[in-house]
Chains A and B, each alone.
Chain A
Amino acid sequence: MGDTAHRTVIARYTERERVNHWILAIAFVLAALSGLALFHPSLYWMSSLVGGGTWSRILHPFIGLVMTVSFVLLALAVGKHNRMEERDWKWLREMPKAKSHDDPRLPEVGRYNGGQKILFMVLVASMALLLLSGIVIWRSYFSAYFPIGVIRLAAVVHALAGFVLVCSIIGHAYAAVFWVTGSMGAITRGFVTPGWAWRHHRAWFRENIRAANPRTRAD
């Protein structure tokens, strides 16, 4: 948002959505550190960032619950914008062949593109698996209620779903922080420039200006 020439901005996330996203992000980082510490010996050092191995074991499930609640709130807010449509499949198919974002073969993108929507579905699936399997292997409170075969299976499912989640979030964070510049403003200050919306989410941009005139910043 450094460029003050563009006074007009388009709102993308509300204050509540932004606060929740960052609670989710912090919970994810803490859960990932404490979880990866127990994932493989080469990552055990990560447990020292949450106070050691025993604290990892104690805190990880509670952090996971915070992450789950926060994710459910996020999913409720953005879920309706993340249903795959025909244009999203087309966009995914044509994307690798496209020379630029303005390639005429590419359909216009709505509030989220096909890649973001697939990411969303992968996150929903892995979070659901992590929650269910995590309850089964939560030794202090719940493991006693499950037979050993279910516990063993849940441990595998938890590790695999955690792996998928971590890889997905690395992709998400890379795209938002480094690759598609101008995205960070959406999730920190809540708005994007019209040019950003026009370039990356043109259908959403057009819906947006049709629905309401964009607010104008005071500066």
Chain B
Amino acid sequence: MALQSLDIVRRSATTTPSPGVRGPATGEVAKLIDVSKCIGCKACQAACMEWNDLRDEIGTCNGTLQNPPDLTAQSWTLMRFTEYENPKGDLEWLIRKDGCMHCADPGCLKACPAPGAIVQYANGIVDFHQENCIGCGYCIAGCPFDIPRISKKDSKAYKCSLCSDRVAVGLEPACIKSCPTGALMFGTKEDMKQHAEGRVQDLQSRGFDQAGLYDPGGVGGTHVMYVLQHADQPQLYSGLPAEPHISAAVGAWKGFTKPMAVAGIALTALAALFHYLRVGPNDTTEEDEAAAARELEKNHG
């Protein structure tokens, strides 16, 4: 279900240019999640289920408000709840809406071996096209944020699409529409950064000296950004990585090495061909047979 109204800048396992004559006149988009404004109501989780026709299994309470306990193929976004005791001894309830970060440099797309199973649109959204997905799970190994989940039902990988189907027709993602406190905002990446600047200044004036914007450069920036009260310690927020980057193992495995290895295999076959052309076959001669026959004769005799 490739959205032909959205231009593609990158396509998994594809070495030729993707369709891209229509430039994104409005620039790249971004979702801004202001953790300081989130009340953990989970309206965004419900809206995500509703718009995307997802219904996760009814699970069990694990003693926190976090429900379901983890992202799944049916739960593309999840409120993660952390009870943090700050150095002053006060309790801070840090609630982070988890889901795909839509990296500018997507590890999932780089790791994916199936042509067109993962695409990156010109507006920055990273989308999975499940009809091309082969279910290998390499996207999971490629992702620095542990987001993609393989469905047990159809063995395809799923994650937040940033409602690419809604964005393609000029609507905001379903979660944004449902947020009652304005903790979720959507717009161009530039606008969201400007808005975040104001929010960060406000938080800093209220005693959160380390407030800041989470837009990690290790993955080229993200199209889902957080305003964090403690931007110096993102790992406080249910293990949000401080310096996410595509693993060196994935880089080594996918980047330069594989084209070289393909060339190596081709060269091995060519070396065999040219060896044959130059040296020719190593034939057993009549003299060899005669020498062998003499030894056999001796042995019998």
Q: Using a CB–CB distance below 8 Å, which chain A residues touch chain B? A: 3, 5-6, 8, 36-44, 52-54, 56-58, 101, 137, 139-140, 143, 148-149, 151-153, 155-156, 159-160, 163, 166-167, 170-171, 174, 178-182, 193-200, 205-206, 209-210, 213-214
Would you list 13 pairs from A and B whose C-beta atoms are within 8 A, ordered by A residue? A39-B262, A40-B258, A152-B250, A156-B252, A156-B253, A159-B253, A170-B265, A194-B293, A194-B295, A194-B296, A196-B288, A199-B288, A206-B295
A41 touches B136 (CB 8 A): no
**Which of A155, A163, A214 has the most chain B CB atoms inside 10 A of its CB?**
A155
CB of B113 closer than 8 Å to a CB of A: yes
Q: List which B71-116 residues lie within 8 A (CB) of chain A.
A: 113-115
In angstroms, how far is the closest chain A Cβ from the Cβ of B258?
Answer: 5
Report Cα–Cα, A120/B291, bound state, in Å: 30
A156 touches B284 (CB 8 A): no
Pick from B13, B135, B275, B291: contact of A195, CB below 8 A.
B291
A178 touches B146 (CB 8 A): no
A167 touches B300 (CB 8 A): no
Residues of the B chain whose Cβ atoms lie less than 8 Å from the Cβ of A8: 293, 296
Q: List which B255-301 residues lie within 8 A (CB) of chain A.
A: 257-259, 261-262, 264-265, 268-269, 272, 275-276, 279, 281-286, 288-293, 295-296, 299-300
Report Cα–Cα, A181/B253, bound state, in Å: 38
A178 touches B299 (CB 8 A): no
Closest 3 A/B residue pairs (Cβ): A195-B289, A194-B292, A139-B137
A178 touches B276 (CB 8 A): yes
B134 touches A57 (CB 8 A): yes
Residues of the A chain whose Cβ atoms lie less than 8 Å from the Cβ of B140: 139, 143, 148, 151
Report Cα–Cα, A37/B137, bound state, in Å: 15
Report Cα–Cα, A39/B113, bound state, in Å: 7
Residues of the B chain whose Cβ atoms lie less than 8 Å from the Cβ of A137: 137, 141
Report Cα–Cα, A198/B298, bound state, in Å: 14
- With both beta carbons as reference points, the residue of chain B lying nearest to A158 in the complex is identified as B253
B14 touches A170 (CB 8 A): no
In angstroms, how far is the closest chain A Cβ from the Cβ of B292?
Answer: 4
Q: Using a CB–CB distance below 8 Å, which chain B residues touch chain A? A: 13-15, 113-115, 132, 134-138, 140-141, 146, 150, 155, 247, 249-250, 252-253, 257-259, 261-262, 264-265, 268-269, 272, 275-276, 279, 281-286, 288-293, 295-296, 299-300
B272 touches A167 (CB 8 A): no
- Asked if A53 meets B134 with Cβ closer than 8 Å, knowing A8-B296, A178-B276, the reply is yes
In angstroms, how far is the closest chain A Cβ from the Cβ of B17?
Answer: 13
Main SS of chain A's interface residues? helix
A159 touches B258 (CB 8 A): yes
Report Cα–Cα, A171/B256, bound state, in Å: 24
- Asked if A42 meets B15 with Cβ closer than 8 Å, knowing A151-B141, A193-B284, the reply is yes
Residues of the A chain whose Cβ atoms lie less than 8 Å from the Cβ of B264: 163, 167
B296 touches A209 (CB 8 A): yes
Residues of the A chain whose Cβ atoms lie less than 8 Å from the Cβ of B289: 3, 5-6, 193-195, 198
Residues of the B chain whose Cβ atoms lie less than 8 Å from the Cβ of A5: 289
Residues of the B chain whose Cβ atoms lie less than 8 Å from the Cβ of A140: 135, 155
Pick from A57, A151, A195, A206: contact of B284, CB below 8 A.
A195
In angstroms, how far is the closest chain A Cβ from the Cβ of B270?
Answer: 10
Residues of the A chain whose Cβ atoms lie less than 8 Å from the Cβ of B262: 39-40, 42-43
B141 touches A171 (CB 8 A): no
Extra contacts, 17 of them, besides A137-B137, A155-B253, A167-B268 (Cβ < 8 A), are: A39-B261, A44-B115, A54-B135, A143-B137, A149-B249, A159-B258, A170-B268, A179-B276, A180-B281, A181-B281, A194-B293, A195-B291, A198-B289, A199-B285, A205-B295, A209-B295, A209-B296
A181 touches B282 (CB 8 A): yes
A139 touches B135 (CB 8 A): yes
In angstroms, how far is the closest chain A Cβ from the Cβ of B277?
Answer: 11
- With both beta carbons as reference points, the residue of chain A lying nearest to B282 in the complex is identified as A180
Residues of the B chain whose Cβ atoms lie less than 8 Å from the Cβ of A210: 299
Residues of the B chain whose Cβ atoms lie less than 8 Å from the Cβ of A43: 262
Pick from B136, B281, B293: contact of A139, CB below 8 A.
B136
Residues of the A chain whose Cβ atoms lie less than 8 Å from the Cβ of B268: 167, 170-171
- Asked if A205 meets B276 with Cβ closer than 8 Å, knowing A41-B115, A139-B137, A180-B282, the reply is no
Residues of the A chain whose Cβ atoms lie less than 8 Å from the Cβ of B293: 6, 8, 194-195
Residues of the B chain whose Cβ atoms lie less than 8 Å from the Cβ of A160: 261
Report Cα–Cα, A53/B157, bound state, in Å: 14
- With both beta carbons as reference points, the residue of chain B lying nearest to A159 in the complex is identified as B253
B136 touches A57 (CB 8 A): yes
Residues of the B chain whose Cβ atoms lie less than 8 Å from the Cβ of A200: 282, 284
Report Cα–Cα, A181/B276, bound state, in Å: 12
